[in-house]
Amino acid sequence: MTAHVLMLSSSREGDEAYLTHAKARILAHLGDIRDLVFIPYAAVTQSYDSYVDAVASALPECNVVGLHTFDDPVAAIHNASENGHAIVVGGGNTFHLLHSLYRFALMVPLKHAICNGVPYVGWSAGSNICGQSIRTTNDMPIIEPPSFDALEVVPFQINPHYTDYHPPGHNGETRDQRLAEFTTLNPEIPVVGIREGSALLLSGSTLTLVGEKSGFIFQGNNKTPVQPEQDLTELLNRAD
C-alpha cells in the first residue's frame, strides 16, 4: 500500500482564517502537485461552486477544480494519478458526503486511487470518511447513505474536532460519553480523537499524529493519550 493521506481535524483552528493553520502542511503533503480535484459533497447550505472558490482562495498556489464540474466524475478520480492530480475532500455534513459518494459510484475509485498513492487531503468530514465507518462523526444524520461503511483507509474510527471541554450548565452528553457509547458496543474497534489544529498523517505504512496538540485513543473502557508527533503505526496492524 502506498497511501499518502493527510487527515486534518478541521479547516480552522480558533478564530483564524480558512485553512490558515493547515496551508503549509497541505502544500508540503502535496509535494510538487498543485492540481487539485476537490470533492465538495459535504456542503449542504452553500453551493458547490462557492465551496470550491473558498478553497481556491485559501490555497492560491493551487489549481482547484470541483469534481462536480466533470462530465465523468468516476473517470476524473480514476485518472487522477496519470493526470498528476491530488484529491481533496472538505468538511461539512459527513452523511451528505458519504451519501453522494455512493450515489455517484465513487467509493471504489477513491479507494483505488488512494491505495495507488494519489495524494489525499481531507478535513473534518473529509477525514471522517477515511475510517472504517462514519459512526463516530459529530454530524446530524440529515440524509441516509446506503451504508455507513467508509473508505477504510485506516482500520479504525476517527473523531475530528475532538474536545473534552464541558460547558458549564450543559446537561447533554459530553464527547467522551458519546464515544464511550460506541466503544461499549464495539470494544474491539479503536477511535482516534484528534483536536482542531492537529491531523493524522498516513505515509505508506506509517501513521503519525502531527501538529502541536495531543489526542486520544478510545477503545473499550480505555482512553489513552496520544502525544504530538507520536507514531501510531501499530493501529494499522491491529487484528479485526
What pLDDT digit, counting tens, does each position of 109-156 carry? 999 999 999 999 999 999 999 999 999 999 999 999 999 999 999 999
Does residue 240 lie within any of the structural domains?
no
182-197 exposure pattern, b = at least 16 Cβ within 10 A, e = fewer? bbeebeebbbbbbbbb
The confidence band for 183, taking pLDDT boundaries of 50, 70 and 90, is very high
Q: How many domains does the chain have?
A: 1
Q: Is residue 45 part of a domain?
A: yes
Per-residue pLDDT for 237 more than 90? no
Q: What is the SS3 string spanning 193-223?
A: ECCCCCEEEEECCEEEEECCCCEEEEECCEE
Question: Which residues participate in catalysis according to the annotation?
Answer: 124, 139, 161
Task: Say what the pTM is.
Answer: 0.96
Burial 53-76 (b: 16+ CB within 10 A, else e): ebbbebbeebebbbbbeeeebeeb
Instruction: Report which residue type is found at 137.
Output: T
207 within 8 A of 200, measured Cβ to Cβ: yes
Domain assignment present for residue 53? The answer is yes
What cell was used for 32? 510538487
CA dihedral 9, 10, 11, 13 (to 10 degrees): -110
Averaged over 32-59, what is the pLDDT?
A: 98
By residue range, what is the domain housing residue 75? 2-234
Q: Is residue 50 part of a domain?
A: yes
What integer pLDDT is reported at residue 31 of this predicted model? 97
Is the confidence at residue 239, as pLDDT, over 70? no
pLDDT recorded at residue 34? 98
Calculate mean pLDDT across residues 48-77. Answer: 98
Specify if 220 maps to a domain.
Answer: yes
Tell me the chain's radius of gyration from C-alpha atoms. 17
Whether 239 is in a domain gets the answer: no
CATH number at residue 176: 3.40.50.880
- Mean residue pLDDT across the chain: 96
> Given this model, what pLDDT does residue 1 score?
57
State pLDDT tens for residues 159-174. 999 999 888 888 889 9
How far is the C-alpha of 59 from the C-alpha of 54, rounded, in Å?
A: 9
Q: Which residue pairs from 201-205 have beta carbons closer than 8 angstroms and sit at least 24 positions apart in sequence?
A: 201/5, 201/6, 201/7, 201/29, 202/3, 202/4, 202/5, 202/6, 202/7, 202/153, 202/154, 202/236, 203/3, 203/4, 204/1, 204/2, 204/3, 204/4, 205/1, 205/233, 205/236
